[in-house]
Amino acid sequence: MIYPISKQTLQRLPLYLSYLKTLGFEYGSENISATTIANALRLNQVQVRKDLASISSSGKPKIGYNIQTLIVEIESFLGYDNINEAVIVGAGRLGTALLTFQGFKEYGLDILAAFDSNPEKLGMTACSKPILPVEELKEMCLKFNIRIGIITTPAKCAQQVCDLLVESGIQAIWNFAPVHLIVPPNILVQNENMATSLAVLSNHLTERIKSGEEKNGTRSDIREK
Amino acid sequence: MIYPISKQTLQRLPLYLSYLKTLGFEYGSENISATTIANALRLNQVQVRKDLASISSSGKPKIGYNIQTLIVEIESFLGYDNINEAVIVGAGRLGTALLTFQGFKEYGLDILAAFDSNPEKLGMTACSKPILPVEELKEMCLKFNIRIGIITTPAKCAQQVCDLLVESGIQAIWNFAPVHLIVPPNILVQNENMATSLAVLSNHLTERIKSGEEKNGTRSDIREK
DNA sequence: TAGATTGTTAATCGATTAACAATC
DNA sequence: TAGATTGTTAATCGATTAACAATC
């Protein structure tokens, strides 16, 4: 049975995919079991089985899944095999890094250009992708029917940029600014929130100190005195 | 009562914090209710109340929370008021962007240096933070008792770098490489996984197409024919 | 055949939400 | 006082995990 897909499942699929891709010929088999994947990624095996069952029916009892088939099935489900075009707004360090990063193609993402309001930023990057004036954003999005907008501006202009992207017909927003964006119902906002990650890291370290796991330079081998 | 804090709550706290900080004097009051925060961030008000109750007891019936007090309480809980030092491994575009980004200080993160195995990358960045040879990593981490390691290397050397960081006494890892890292039990790995985000974005767009919300350039105003 | 592995049903667990009592 | 708002207990919801039947 094909289960409806939950957001949690959706977020684990890229994990399975990247694991499957690391398996070279030295793995020694064309097939792999859900249990093997679960052990490698430290997940529950039933969870992996359910996740895989939700996107594939190529699993065979006693045999498992054919690795290549499974890779294709996951990539296809995730839409990595048809390219989505995107634009970036905010050509700061992060924006430029994303613009020039070659690796997104394999996830089906093609960033066409960045936009910035600072005239000094305009021009071509080394990888021949343009940084254009923000005034040209809407025209380009409509003309090329671009569906993904990436926001890498400072927090204070993020909402304004977001509104402009929505107006330009964008359907999904990848937001790197540490703010909550207000959008119409059928537009997806995916937050890549560094502040959130840092909160988790920082809290973990604080907890360690509180619980006495570490004391100010004390070596761990003598901490139990 | 102080509830134990869940990871979900922990991840919403930075959201509240950034919202509270956007409230200028034009907000018109020193106090704010959980309901107001919930509405602004499109969250359930009971959820916000519970989250806040888990880190604060300064809420007063009929009045709400004092904004400044709440900001300080959240920042303090998240550990933003005591600086954690970090190092980056991998001085590519992303690594360098993170190294030179000035904004992490306000989250209590101070990145001291980046490390790379490519001699051509070594030297000083514009903001006078050094890029050092990876051979010096362990020594520096131990000497300065550094607790956070940031991995921005290609996927294929991420695990090796991770092992080196663990060996160097790091306690938490912020991983930007799209791989699952194996670490000892008490080390935290926080994945900043772009592939995961892209999966969510890509799937959203695919769903839209499937459900017929959009048809190949058809204008949305005539889609219901 | 026997055993490994899949897929599914049922139980558990935890987070969210609803209802409500307490209180400034 | 009355009403707004907090904090808490109970109900709901959804995801994870356990148990097990099906099968190559």
Tell me the average pLDDT across A46-67.
94
CB contact under 8 A, B14 and A205: no
Domain residue spans of chain A = 7-78, 84-192, 195-225
Spacing of A19 CA from C9 C1' in Å: 30
Confidence of residue A67 (pLDDT cuts 50, 70, 90): very high
Spacing of B47 CA from D13 C1' in Å: 15
pLDDT tens for A170-182 read 999 999 998 899 9
Token pair belonging to A60: 């065979």
CB contact under 8 A, B172 and A201: yes
Q: Measured between alpha carbons, how far is A51 from A69 in angstroms, rounded to an integer?
A: 15
Tally C-beta pairs within 8 A across A and B. Answer: 172
Which residue in A18, A155, A208 is closest to B171 by CB distance? A208
Confidence of residue A27 (pLDDT cuts 50, 70, 90): confident
Strands B109-116 and B130-133, by their bridges, are parallel
Query: Does B205 touch chain A if contact means CB atoms closer than 8 Å?
Result: yes
User: Which pLDDT belongs to residue B150?
Assistant: 98
User: Which pLDDT belongs to residue A204?
Assistant: 87
Mean pLDDT estimate for chain A: 88
CB contact under 8 A, B202 and A41: no
- A109 pLDDT exceeds 90? yes
Query: What single string gives the DSSP state of each residue in A13-64?
Result: HHHHHHHHHH--GGG--SEE-HHHHHHHHT--HHHHHHHHHTT----BTTTB
Spacing of B44 CA from C22 C1' in Å: 21
Phi-psi region of B145 (alpha: psi -120 to 50; beta: other; left: phi over 0): left
Which bases of chain D are contacted by protein, using any atom under 7 A from a CB? 3-9, 14-19, 22-24
CB contact under 8 A, B78 and A11: no
Tell me the average pLDDT across A16-27.
89
Low-confidence ranges of chain B (pLDDT < 70): 1-4, 210-225
The CATH architecture one would assign to domain B7-78 is Orthogonal Bundle (1.10)
B52 residue type, one letter: L
The dihedral built from the CA positions of residue B12, B80, A213 and B4, taken in this order, carries a sign that is: negative
- Report the chain B residue with the minimal C-alpha distance to residue A6: B200
The pTM assigned to this predicted structure is: 0.86
Q: Tokens 């985000």 correspond to what residue?
A: B197
CB contact under 8 A, B193 and A14: yes
Spacing of A65 CA from D23 C1' in Å: 15
Q: Which of A2-11, A135-144, A169-178, A210-219 has the lowest mean pLDDT?
A: A210-219
Q: Which CATH superfamily is domain A84-192 in?
A: NAD(P)-binding Rossmann-like Domain (3.40.50.720)
Query: Does B23 touch chain A if contact means CB atoms closer than 8 Å?
Result: no
Q: Measured between alpha carbons, how far is B162 from B183 in angstroms, rounded to an integer?
A: 8
